[in-house]
Structure 1
Amino acid sequence: MDRVLSGQLQPHQRCDPKTLAQEPGVTRTGFYPRRNADGSVRPGPYQHLAREFQRRLAALQQAGTIADPRGAQIERLKHEVDQLGAHLARQESVINQLTEFKQRAVSQLAAQHAEIEHLRSASLGPTAVVRSVPTPHRPRL
């Protein structure tokens, strides 16, 4: 019982009556009451051990000690899932903000482009003459 409660378990085991029964090689049914043929109830041969195990396990849990390494791993993973969920929510918020910014920027660019096109067409009427602006000639080296 001490070994199971201290967390010295095989990877597939848990801190429970089933593992407690496996250690000495007894059946788990010995931890529970039995019924006689007449319907009366008699205690199982190891029922007192099961009660003691449950009492000590509850005391450890109240003290904040997790005797089951799987239980500790589950708690750690739950905490990690919570942190990852919060991180994901923050990332989704940033993505939404950036998407809105992109939509506004594209709309503004489209409006500016339309304005430029309008101004070009207004200044280039049917009688407008377009001339090239001469550029200074630079000698090649």
Structure 2
Amino acid sequence: MRISAAQRTENEYRIRAAIDRLLRGEIPPGGKCDIKTLASQAAVDRTAFYGTRPYAHLRVEFERRLNVMREAGEIPDPREAQISRLKAENTKLRERLAQSEQTVDGLTDFRTQALAQLAAQHEEIVRLREIAAGTTRVSHLPAPRTTVIGSCS
């Protein structure tokens, strides 16, 4: 079915208004910042944006503006922004986890070495005590004499 020039102009106006809304971040519930949502918001058939259809140039303009915003770090779709934020947070948490695992491994090695050193020192103490107990060269000193200092009479 053919549309009149006035209808086409009206459709283009609605499409451009929908493009501006989507790029400002006014995404409808359940929608995205994409051609499907653009078509539904403008009340135009989605196929009119592809190939040699009448609004293909508006799809190209929408995608170009969307890419410029993304390259500038602006993400109009809050879900995409959330996904990007969560991916970055996930990467950071994975790095922290890897660092924590390295720290735990290092502390486990240190604990193992410390326990081995304590065991070796204990064995050395036991060995030295046995040597000291078996030696007969140790002489005991006589008990000290107690003298009573007399009183003068």
Q: TM-score, with normalisation over the residues of structure 1?
A: 0.71
Q: 1:47 aligns with which of 45, 53, 56?
A: 56
Matched, 1:27 2:45: yes
Corresponding position of 2:121: 112
The verdict on how the C-alpha distance between 1:112 and 1:62 changes in structure 2, with shifts beyond 3 A counting, is closer
Q: Which runs of 5+ in 2 are unaligned?
A: 1-18, 137-153
Corresponding position of 1:68: 77
Corresponding position of 2:31: 13
Corresponding position of 2:150: none
| Residues 54-96 of structure 1: CA deviation (Å, up to 9, x unaligned) | 1222232333321221221122112212221222222122212
Corresponding position of 1:100: 109
Where 2:33 maps in the other structure, the secondary structure is coil
Q: Hey, what's the Cα distance between the residues in 2 that align with 1:53 and 1:110?
A: 73
Where 1:26 maps in the other structure, the secondary structure is coil
Q: Hey, what's the Cα distance between the residues in 1 that align with 2:59 and 2:34?
A: 9
Deviation at 1:105, TM superposition (A): 0.9
User: Match for 1:12: what amino acid?
Assistant: G
Where 2:81 maps in the other structure, the secondary structure is helix
Percent identical: 49
Q: Hey, what's the Cα distance between the residues in 2 that align with 1:108 and 1:56?
A: 67
Report the structure, 1 or 2, having the larger helix content.
2
The verdict on how the C-alpha distance between 1:51 and 1:69 changes in structure 2, with shifts beyond 3 A counting, is same
Deviation at 1:99, TM superposition (A): 0.8
Matched, 1:58 2:67: yes
CA RMSD, Structure 1 to Structure 2 (Å)? 2.2
**Based on CA coordinates, which of the two structures has the bigger radius of gyration?**
2
